[in-house]
Amino acid sequence: SQTIHQWPATLVQPVGSPLSLECTVEGTSNPNLYWYRQAAGRGLQLLFYSVGIGQISSEVPQNLSASRPQDRQFILSSKKLLLSDSGFYLCAWKLGGVSEQYFGPGTRLTVT
């Protein structure tokens, strides 16, 4: 069966520091991968998606970036965090041609 992992689970970082969140998927090949951000009490905002290695599409202009160095690895990065980057970051995967996405456990990021 497929599983999706995210780490770290929680992170507290000062403003201006770099960020690297990692997401890996097991048990499937060539998944579509997604990064979402969820503010407290709000819905999910799509940040990036990837349909293959090295292929990244950005949905929202921001100081975040994403990379997909391997088929089942998706990384969210920032060179300098802002207070507004605080939130719950969720990685998701799906297979091509189907609608449903499956989410990881999330990373709670607090920028101080």
Q: Residue numbers of the site for other proteins (CB under 8 A)?
A: 32, 41-46, 49, 51, 57, 90, 92, 94, 96-106, 108
Ramachandran assignment for 100, one of left (phi > 0), alpha (psi -120 to 50 degrees), beta (any other):
beta
For residue 102, which amino acid is it? Y
**CB of 14 or CB of 96, closer to other proteins:** 96
Q: Rank residues 19 and 23 by Cβ distance to other proteins and give the closer one.
A: 23
Write down the least CB distance from residue 32 to other proteins, Å: 6
Q: How far is the CB of 106 from other proteins (least distance, A)?
A: 5
